[in-house]
Amino acid sequence: MATEFAPDDQQLDGKTAIVSGAGALEGGIGNGRAAAILLARAGARILAVDRDLDRAAETAAMIEAEGGEALAHAADMTNEADCKAVAELAMEKFGRVDVLDNNVGIGSSGTVVDEVVEVWERVMRVNVQSMFLAAKFAIPAMIASGGGGAIVNVSSISALRPRGLTAYSASKGAVISLTRAMAIDHAPDGIRANCIAPGPVYTPMVYGRGMSDAARALRRQASPLGIEGTGWDIGNAVVFLSSARARYITGQTLVVDGGITVSGPARDPNV
């Protein structure tokens, strides 16, 4: 007889989730903050990690205001010692690690001819090395916790549909490959690793750089659905991939883009 799940099988009660990039600009809702809040609503205890402690603390406060449990922590996820400390803190404060949600990332633009070597190196360090280091220390903690685990890495549709952002596209492609490698390497430990490739979601990172109403409308119109994606859309995908509903899913890339990658010509790189 096929295994059936109870209606609350998406709940993460008793689980601990490390969410990197959990802060957001201007009190807004970015991918990491949305994921942290939604994971908490599903019952998980959250270690909200951000380079900026105030932003992480704001996320933790939002979770606590809803009755959830969260701890804010400042860390540079490109730093090995900081990533080790994050995993150790989760074990010390919560006694286990079950979910790792990697959101840290920066953008870039230009071709291989245009790009500056220092920028290329920084993009690779922030977008790829941060996820490598976070997993390097979270995975042993998951194994020690005895219940397997779930890793969700945030990539981008730019990895699947390059659009003039060469270093960024290459880094996000590396995230997908890294995720697939971790899925194979750690399946025997009961750990699943999956990737989310967001489309042009409207987050503080986007509007914090300044965006006209016309540019925002173009982003919305790029979706065949004609709707605008938000951090909540990415957060909901994180909860799904972290839950028992995704128990048979690993090594996959879930595209969350309103259908943009199947809609025809490539978008304007500024959209």
Q: Write down all domains in the chain, each with its CATH number in brackets.
A: 16-262 (3.40.50.720)
Q: What is residue 203's predicted lDDT score, i.e. its pLDDT?
A: 76
CA distances from 45 to 40, 218, 223, 236 (A): 6, 38, 34, 16
Q: What is residue 6's predicted lDDT score, i.e. its pLDDT?
A: 46
For the question of residue 168 being annotated catalytic, the response is: yes
pTM: predicted TM-score of the whole model, two decimal places: 0.92
Mean pLDDT, rounded, for 180-207? 92
Residue 5 has pLDDT above 50, yes or no: no
Q: What is residue 265's predicted lDDT score, i.e. its pLDDT?
A: 57
Mean pLDDT, rounded, for 245-251? 97
Nearest to 253 by CA among 235, 271, 241: 241
β-pair type (70-74, 99-102): unpaired
Tokens found for residue 67: 């009755």
> Between 213 and 231, where is the model more confident?
231
- Per-residue buried b or exposed e for 150-160, using 16+ beta carbons within 10 Å of the residue's own CB: bbbbbbbbbbb
Residues in the chain: 271
Among candidate residues 168, 202, 207, 248, the one labeled active-site is 168
Q: What is residue 215's predicted lDDT score, i.e. its pLDDT?
A: 77
